[in-house]
Amino acid sequence: MIFVIKVKTSKEDRALELISSRAKKRNLQVYSLARPHGLKGYIFLEAENRETAEEAAYNIPYVKGIIGKTTTYKEIKNIIEPVLEEINIEKGDIVEMIGEHFKKEKAKVIRVDKSKGEVVVTLLSAIVPIPVTVKLDNVKVIRREKEDQTKESENETKSKTPENYEKSEVLMEDEY
């Protein structure tokens, strides 16, 4: 049986450690504990029965209580199992910081390290360009350098078509 435990927001890791240590000390039948990434204020606890889950979480700091209804693995599978996403950030991209420290700041990508899951950027609003290393999940691409180049080349080719030359000549004749 899987139980959902409500905990104080941003104290999920600490509550998880306390519950785990109590379960080990008292030799409780707690099979697993999980704190899904992105789900704040909740921990999943798999135990033999409700009494065991209550004993593991009772009177622990940061724990608010156990939600009455049990859940199945199928219901929480998409929350617990990570989804592998294609890393689509390249050198020269303009990104927006969505992490804590530089939230809503715009930056230009200098280097991408996919193996570490990090990206090195320079803030556009900074007077002196200082490289800052941040995790890939703390940035969001807002403009691509290649897209900008293709748009510029399309605009150049449009302005050099014969139709546009005729229009500009007609305007020049009307002006005189």
pLDDT in tens, 101-128: 888 899 999 999 888 888 999 999 889 9
Determine the distance from the C-alpha atom of residue 91 to the mean position of all C-alpha atoms in its chain, rounded to a whole number. 19
Per DSSP, the three-state class of 37 is coil
Q: Which two tokens stand for residue 103?
A: 């939230």
Q: Is residue 47 part of a domain?
A: yes
Order of strands, edge to edge, in the sheet holding 42-47?
Answer: 30-34, 42-47, 2-7, 63-66
Of 87 and 93, the one with more pLDDT:
93
Q: Final residue of a domain: which of 32, 50, 80?
A: 80
CATH of the domain at 122: 2.30.30.30
CA distances to 20, 72, 136, 152 from 78, rounded to whole Å, are 23, 12, 21, 42
Determine the distance from the C-alpha atom of residue 42 to the mean position of all C-alpha atoms in its chain, rounded to a whole number. 18
What is the full DSSP assignment across 69-126? S-B-HHHHHHHHSPPP------TT-EEEE-SSTTTT-EEEEEEEETTTTEEEEEETT-
Q: Which residues pair with 131 in a beta bridge?
A: 122
Q: What is the Cα–Cα distance from 172 to 94, expressed in whole angstroms? A: 40
Q: What is the Cα–Cα distance from 174 to 176, expressed in whole angstroms? A: 6
Q: Is residue 74 part of a domain?
A: yes
Residue 101 phi, psi (nearest 5): -70, -45
List, for residues 131-169, the tens digit of each pLDDT value: 999 988 888 888 876 655 544 445 554 554 554 444 444
Residue 175 pLDDT > 90: no
Q: Give yes or no: residues 59 and 101 share one domain.
A: no
Q: Final residue of a domain: which of 54, 80, 106?
A: 80
List, for residues 31-83, the tens digit of each pLDDT value: 999 998 778 999 999 999 999 999 999 999 999 999 989 999 999 888 887 66
Q: Is residue 132 part of a domain?
A: yes
Per DSSP, the three-state class of 4 is strand
Q: What pTM does this model have? A: 0.52
Domain that holds residue 9: 2-80
Per DSSP, the three-state class of 137 is helix
Confidence of residue 21 (pLDDT cuts 50, 70, 90): very high
